[in-house]
Amino acid sequence: MKTVYDFTVKDRKKNEVSLAAYSGKVLLIVNTATGCGFTPHYEPLEEMYRDFRDRGFEILDFPCNQFANQAPGDEDEIHSFCTLKFGADFPQFAKIDVNGDLADPLFAFLAAEKPFAGFGKGLKNAALNKFADMNNKKYGEKAYIKWNFTKFLIDREGRVVARFEPTEDMKAVRSAVEAIL
């Protein structure tokens, strides 16, 4: 059975990193952007990281510019922004695509394990769904991720146990992380 530990990604300096290095840890893998309405998620993410990293928790941050060009900077600019504005201290990786023919294989795997199930109810969520569908139409069946700040929770064995859309309350994400720590 394939797990996230079978993947290799690039860190923000473009060095290859085997995710097997995170074996035995609980992971939250997130595609992020610096100019998105969900960018403030960095704050509760960093809080979770500070509170739980000593218990074997890691957040893996993958910037992506595929959603309305909301992560236009290079890796150093993005890292500086996240560090200065939010104090983000968790591992940040190279900017990637999460949809289309050039989608990072890790995100294709994550989305296959936990497919999109909706943004939830309400007008704001319906509006985001419509906007995301227009944005992702060009990727067809390779539109794996609907928007920035989609989060995948990985257990200590490298299995994908949950997917949280950006509209999910961050308290629910925190509770789910804490429950498997």
A 10 A CB-CB count for 122 gives 10
Q: Helix axis angle, 42-52 relative to 75-86, nearest 10°?
A: 80
Instruction: Enter the tokens of residue 163.
Output: 């997917």
From the list 28, 36, 145, 162, the catalytic residue is 36
Contacts of residue 112, defined as CB under 8 A and 6 or more positions apart, other chains included, come to 144
Q: Helix axis angle, 42-52 relative to 170-180, nearest 10°?
A: 20
Instruction: Give how far Cα 119 sits from Cα of 69, 94, 147, 165, 168, Å.
Output: 20, 27, 10, 6, 8
The DSSP 8-state label assigned to residue 106 in this structure reads H
Exposed, middle or buried: residue 28 (CB in 10 Å: 0-12, 13-18, 19+)?
buried
82 is an active site residue: no
Query: Cα–Cα distance between 137 and 30 in angstroms, integer?
Result: 22
Active-site amino acid positions: 36
